[in-house]
Chain A
Amino acid sequence: MPASELLTIRTLTHQFPGRAPIAFGGMALGAGSMLLVSGPSGCGKSTLLHLIGGVLPVAAGDGSAVLDGRELAGMRTRERDQLRPWLVGWMPQRQFLINGLSVIDNVLLPVSLAVKVNADTLSRADLLLRALEISELSEARPSTLSVGQAARASLARALLARPKLLLADEPTAALDEASVALVATQIAAFVADGGAAIVASHDSHLRAMLAAKCADKFAEAGLPR
């Protein structure tokens, strides 16, 4: 693996019980670059992200994927859990926020589950909320947020721990144009700072924005049905 490559997938397959196996071709991603994974619904975009992010296990015989020098195939649950949030920042398909916690507590969640939150983390959380224009909502309950605001909070949470790799699963589904622009800008800023991002989306508006903002760091992979 070249020194600059954060993720290298040679071949990868996954089979859900009772369904046909999904096969993913080879791909590589270096630090400071982004990959947009597109394809029709059901083609396996989310599954690919779940396999890379360690949410789904890669069975020992199901190919090879090396993330930051670690082979994902055959990796134990505990090791996969430890990929998040420091190596992998996760933005789920929908705006998963825990309703009992305030927005700021939701944003701090991945770090506070792992370590004691320090001043640096608090200041970064504040910075991210400002950049995503939801700082005035930091004490609000998630149930009071619009879909776009919740998506931005979810992105702030994924980026808080300064992960090496951001996985964003349909980050702009059902968002208004202004929110799409804010999300795209923040992902581009993360990539510009040296982070790697894989975004699964079939939002052409987001694709255009990311392609423009990330320029030569932008790559695209289409998954067949």
Chain B
Amino acid sequence: MILRLIFQFLRERPWQFALAVTLCALGLASAISIVWLQALLESHAKRQAQGIDIVVGAKGSALQNVLAAVYYLDVPNGNIRLADVDKLRAHPQVARAIPIALGDSVAGARIVGSTDEFLSFYGAVLQAGALPTAPMDAVVGAALAGRTGLKVGDSFVGAHGVGDGATEHDSQPYRVVGILKPNGRVIDQIAVTPIESVWLVHEGHTASTEKEATFALIQARGPLGVATLPRFINAEPGLQAAVPALESARLLTSFDWVALIVKAFAAILVVAAMASLLGSLLQALARREPDLALLRAMGAGRGTIATIVLGESLLLVGLAAIAAAVLVTLGVWGLQGIALPGVAVSGAEGFFYWFAGLIIAMALAVVATIPVLWRCMSIDVAAQLSSR
């Protein structure tokens, strides 16, 4: 009967109930989305750097080298000699040294020249076609293929550089020989070609006659290697070591205050939702006092009345949480398609943030219900029974 009473009380004022659920759901959904998206972007950034212990590039800004080599977000400081990469590969503390050569782009995405090891390092799996075997062959990442419509058999022209000022290498088109399956890493967004393609396209563009790469992605043979290799690399002329984990942490630390503001904003949204819940409950109570007085006269103890009011509050928050889950799912799905292509979204992680939001909202709902319960406990039953 208590459950029926809760549902009946809610059904009696459907619009007020729907408004309270909507406000609560919007507050919860916004808060969950903010926190989840922040975590999603952080884990996405970490995932891109996974397995890359050190980035070796030309001397200059270490952060710039990491942004350019790991995330393809910046321009490199310069080139390094391929012979230096070979020398690094021979170092006993180095497990892998993968040269990559940048320079061109297609539809704003990097064309990365490298070896077969690059694709296996990122765990690339073909969705269609084959791996590149000859210069000017290219495999295209899933997101890039989806965005540009490139498919096996197509050809495209690389533009020198990235961005609006890029000039095209019309005479040397790339052939699409394969399309990669999406894997949530940066290769979803790029085209990969043998490093020889980059040399071929840029023949005569550089003064150097030596074979060059832009970066070497280094995987060390253990923590000792990660600790000692940078000093060794930095001692080499023209080489600079950058540790992605350190540079990313440094970058994120400088944005700590943004994270704090974002989280505070999320907390304000949840508290505002709970304040609207409290207002709605108090308004409902004012109308329902005679009914609650009647229940008391029928023998319902204060505990029963408290259970009804609390149950109503928790049911409201529960429904709002379900609506919030739908909103967050739609929002993240939409963002993934439009603003965050290639960001791997974990459903389990989303459920964790939703569940944490639900628990916090439930706890806050209990707190928000205390003033309502207090008023319920002080209802003058005799006066109510005599006054209507």
Contacts and interface: CB of A to CB of B under 8 A. Distances in A.
Contact of B385 (A50, A77, A105): A50
B295 interface: yes
Interface of B is mostly: helix
B298 A84 contact: yes
B300 A113 contact: yes
Interface in B225-277: none
A50 B291 CA distance: 17
Given A78-B301, A81-B301, A100-B12, A113 B385 contact: no
Interface residues of A, number: 32
Contacts of A221: none
A30 interface: no
B299 A84 contact: yes
B296 interface: yes
B385 to A, nearest CB: 5
A145 interface: no
Contacts of A190: none
B338 interface: no
B297 A113 contact: no
Contacts of A86: 299
Contacts of B381: 55
Contacts of B366: none
Contacts of A92: 294, 297, 385
Interface of A: 46-47, 50, 53, 55-56, 77-78, 81-86, 90, 92-94, 96, 98-101, 105, 108-110, 112-114, 157, 169
**What 8 pairs across the A-B complex have the smallest Cβ distances?**
A100-B8, A84-B299, A112-B1, A110-B298, A50-B382, A96-B294, A81-B301, A85-B299
17 contacts: A55-B296, A78-B301, A81-B302, A83-B299, A85-B299, A92-B385, A100-B11, A101-B4, A101-B8, A105-B1, A109-B1, A109-B295, A113-B2, A113-B298, A113-B299, A157-B298, A169-B385
